[in-house]
Structure formats: C-alpha cells, structure tokens
Structure 1
Amino acid sequence: MGLSPTTVSRLPVYLRELELLSQAGVETISSTGLAEVVGVTPSQLRKDLSHLGSYGTRGVGYHIAGLQAQIGRELGTARGWPVVIIGVGNLGRALAGYAGFSSRGFRIAALVDPDPAVIGTVVHGVEVSDLAELEAVITRTKATIAVLATPPAAAQSVVDRVVHQGVTSILTFAATVLAVPDGVIVRKVDLGQELQILAYYEQRKSEEVVR
C-alpha cells in the first residue's frame, strides 16, 4: 500500500529541512527537534517516518544522512527525472534556471516554445526546441514529467499532446482547468490564487487592528 497523499506532501518538507541541518553540520536530531523545525507534531512526524520503516534510535534520534537517503529513495529523487518545460517566456526561463531542480533529483531535459525568435536559442544551457516537434522531443528525452508555463488558452492542447505521448505527470502554471485521462496526475500552481489567499489574511489582520 502506498503512502497517503498528505504524508507524501510532507516528505519534501522533511527532506528540505534535513538538507539544511546537514549543511549546518548537524548529524542527528530528535523527533521533537525535527518536528519543531518542520512545523508538525512529534507524533505526526514519527507516524510519517514509520511508514518508511524509520523509527530512529532511542536516546539518539534520527541520523540525518540516513534519513535523507531514505526519504530520497521514497520520493525517487536519486533518479534524475528528465523534465520538459513548455513555454519559454519569463516564467519558463526562471524555471529553467532554478537550481533547486537538480538538487532535488530533476533534470531539465528540454525547453519547448512556438516563438521563432526563441527557437534555437540557448537558455541556461538548454537549446529551445520548436513546439511543432514536441512529440519528437519527448521521445528523445524520455521525459515523463512536463511543466507548463504556457498561456491558459494553449494549455489544454499542449496537455493533450504530451499525454498522448506518454507523459503522466504534469505541473501547470496555466490558470485554467485541464482535462486529463485517469492515471495522469496534474499539479496546479496558481500564483494569483495564492496571492489572493495572502491578501485575505492581510485584510483580516487590518480589521483586527481597527477593532
């Protein structure tokens, strides 16, 4: 049986904090200490990690290097997943240059765009391919993860093409609802929506001050 979606969503957070602790020279940490920096309860952390077969050592806690490797294996970050980014505007360029991808087990295998002025240019070491050649690019790179940084109107047609080519995991920044077949996972990042949520809390704080 696989891990629950909520547990899976917390594993990258655990891994990020463990990386920071390792960089700081920390070798072991208690469940209470790790839970505190992550922002969960110690019981929740112990439960999550027990699903991986990691229970720590009484009186010592968790060995950080070992736990990093264990979570990394569970998340598949040691595989160097090939990723294709579709849309090489300002957002696509920023994503292509994000150093966090490589450190977390992802490799930008291809950049794709329909703009003749962009096609053939090199962005962060990767040559931009023509959107017309998308299927060939996916076949060549064996990418199973696609990142969409396209305008909303173009997103669905692009998704249809990558799914038909065998891509089963999609991260989209396009502010639109995408239809995909069963078995294809879509994760949506809506920056405008996240800012609206922050604005809601800012407004609540302002109202509290007025009261």
Structure 2
Amino acid sequence: QRIVIFQGDGSEIVQLSPDNDTIYKIANSTWETARAGFNPKKPVKNFEFSDIKEAIERSRATIYSVAPGIRFLGLSNEEQKARAELSFTNLYRNWRRIYGGRGEPPARLRELDQSLLEEMLLAGQIAMFRIAELSGGDLGFIEKPEDAEGVYSKIFKLISNRYLIGYYPTNQVRDGKRREMRVEVRNHPEYVVTGRKDYFPQ
C-alpha cells in the first residue's frame, strides 16, 4: 500500500483550470489575477482538478496532507478575515526580514489584495483537504513550529492503525471504470471509517 505525506499550502491550485470537480470557491477575477500576477513568466498548463482526482484514485495511494502556515479552513468568515490580515502583515514582514528592509517590495506583493490572499489560501487548504479525503488520508495544520511533532505523530499513528480489506464484487467485469463503495462497522453507526470511497477494477 503506497503512502504519501504531502506538505504544502496548496497555493498552486490557482494554476489549475476550474472544472466541475473543483470544490473550492474562488472568483474568476481572483483566479485570473493570481495566475497572471504570481507566475507571469510561467506557462499555464491546461490541467484541471479532475485530472488530479483521477490520478489520486488510480494511484491507490493514501495521501496525508500537511498544511503549514495560518489555518483558514473550518473557521468563521470573521476569523478568516482576521487571519488574512495577519498573513498579509507576515508577507511584508518576512520580505523585509529576508532583504533587510532594502527598497520596496516587488509589485506583485504591493498589489496583492487582502481579500484575494484570503480567497487563495482558503482555496488551497480546501484542495489539500480534498486530496487527502479522496485517498482516505487526513489533513493536519502546522501553524507553529511546535505543532509539527503532534501533526506527524498523528499521521504515523493513523498509518499504524490502518486495516487493509478486500472483497469480491458481484460485477466481475474489469472495465477500468470508477465504482463507488462504502465501508461501515456493523452495529456501530457512530463509528466513522476513513478510507477510499471508490476504485477502478483492473
């Protein structure tokens, strides 16, 4: 069983074209601005979230996502706005710390709108969650350096408590098409089973 631990903030999500499988909410204006402003010289590839989804499903890997930085996912709008302001401040502070306060920040940083930053960071974290969910994994947040030990300890514990199960489908045709499935614990509806929700018979 393949296991992938993927750490990132999901910001590259703006490089994907929106499609029917896109589960994050991001305005077209934000999407266009981010694509043009953050990677002006980088060619845009015509990949969609559905391409990532299919690659994850066909890989049979379980992905554990780790998102460093300020958390936005699962918080109220007010909390998200407050955290976006903090992220915005941190961007400037980090830039000045790295470059010793010399000169002005680059245009793409000066022109960055706080609401755009909030939308992008939230979209990235939703995508990171979805990637983990599709594969039966989990998402953890590292907001402070001391959070890392707890997040990775949880991942290793989840890995050590995994079960590998199989079954014989009534449909024996190996047509390579997606099939949905559901795993439950008999007589325990309160239990939550994390795992894949579909597969491709090969």
| TM-score, with length taken from structure 1 | 0.25
Identify the structure with the greater strand proportion. 1
Identify the structure with the greater helix proportion. 1
Q: Which has the higher contact order (CA 8 A, sep 6+)?
A: 2
| TM-score, with length taken from structure 2 | 0.25
